[in-house]
Structure 1
Amino acid sequence: MAIYKENLTELGERKRKHSLRSVWNALLYVVKTGCQWRMLPVNFAKWQLVYYYYKKWSGLDCFDLLLAKLREKVRSGMGQNRQASLGIMDSQSVRWGNNRALSGYDGNKKVKGIKRHVATDKNGFLLAVMVTAAHVHHSKAALLLARVLKQLLCGIRTIACDGGYRGEIIEQVKNVSDIFYK
């Protein structure tokens, strides 16, 4: 550890005033409370520093890696394979009046807003998420969500979904991504 610190000072990195744990706790506070960056309490690091690390870690996909490793650890602790082989896909229309560009109208649900398309494993752990305008039918978004699943989780072999995902979209997903719907 001392060798590592010596190498850092040789590279010109300065000593941290706030620990990364403090920055992480501030990020968790923002996520939990939904407060604005500038409204972080004074017992955390300055909001500019917390935001800097958030942008840096987001750009490196650290959050996705952390979520994947945590999901694998919990699954193995439950006596399951580390990688999920079964996915569950569904969508939900949500009222959304803040963004006119992304707003649509879902005629089936009588909702003006957006639609969340979510894929989870059998335990309910999040695998992939996609947001579209509410008028986009979930069978159309299923193809894009299946491509994301293929890129992220090679182990997914079966996807369970409701009757809304029917028709030719099933064959298209089978042909494009080798993921089988049942």
Structure 2
Amino acid sequence: MAWTPFTRRHHDRSRMRYASDLTDREWSLIDPFMPRQPRLGRRRKTSLRAVMDAIFYLLQSGCQWALLPHDFPPKSTVYHYFKRFCRDGTWRRIHDALYCRTRQLEGREEQPSFAIIDSQSVKTGPDGACRKFFRLTLC
């Protein structure tokens, strides 16, 4: 990607709290996959965008859950949503949608037409036992 004045403005994160925070455009791609406000019971008080910002902060910084800065929602809330998204398939749906969108923007079919599997034997451990590592390439 060439850095032009437009692309620099488009990707500028200098006015954000953290470099890992979602831009409005990024949030608009993820928001449709977030769980809606429950109709019954207590209403959600926590912003799911703040939860996603906290999760991306953890992933990018590599910090521990306990070291999550205090300007994010409580770590127990963030962890609850992270685990919930793992269990209910939210992460998978986000990934698949963004993957298809990226392929479309590149002018390719949404789904790959073939795959290449490559294997390599590697000596590991003190006794040098061989293990096979596989790499999958989708085309």
TM-score by length of 1: 0.48
Counterpart residue type for residue 138 of structure 2: D
Distance in 2 of aligned mates of 1:93 and 1:40: 40
Distance 1:45 1:92 in 2: 44
* C-alpha deviation, 1:15, in angstroms: 3.6
Q: Distance in 2 between matches of 1:60 and 1:53?
A: 10
Structure 2: which 5+ runs fail to align?
A: 1-35
Of 44, 56, 61, the residue aligned with 2:72 is 44
For these two proteins, the number of residue pairs brought into alignment is 102
**Correspondence for 1:119:** 136
Sequence identity percentage:
34
Within the candidate set 111, 119, 133, 1:83 is matched to 111
Residue 78 of structure 2 aligns to which amino acid in structure 1? V
Runs (4 or more) in structure 1 with deviation over 6 Å come to none
Q: What is the Cα-based RMSD across aligned positions, in Å? A: 3.0
Distance 1:32 1:115 in 2: 30
TM-score w.r.t. structure 2 length? 0.61
Deviation digits for residues 79-102 of structure 1 (CA, Å, limit 9, x no counterpart): 1110011223345789xxxxxxxx
In 1, the alpha carbon distance for the partners of 2:52 and 2:136 equals 27
Please show how residues 22-33 of structure 1 align to structure 2 within 5 Å: 22-33=50-61
CA shift digits 1:119-153 (9 cap, x unpaired):
2323xxxxxxxxxxxxxxxxxxxxxxxxxxxxxxx
Q: Give the Cα separation in 2 of the matches to 1:35 and 1:45.
A: 15
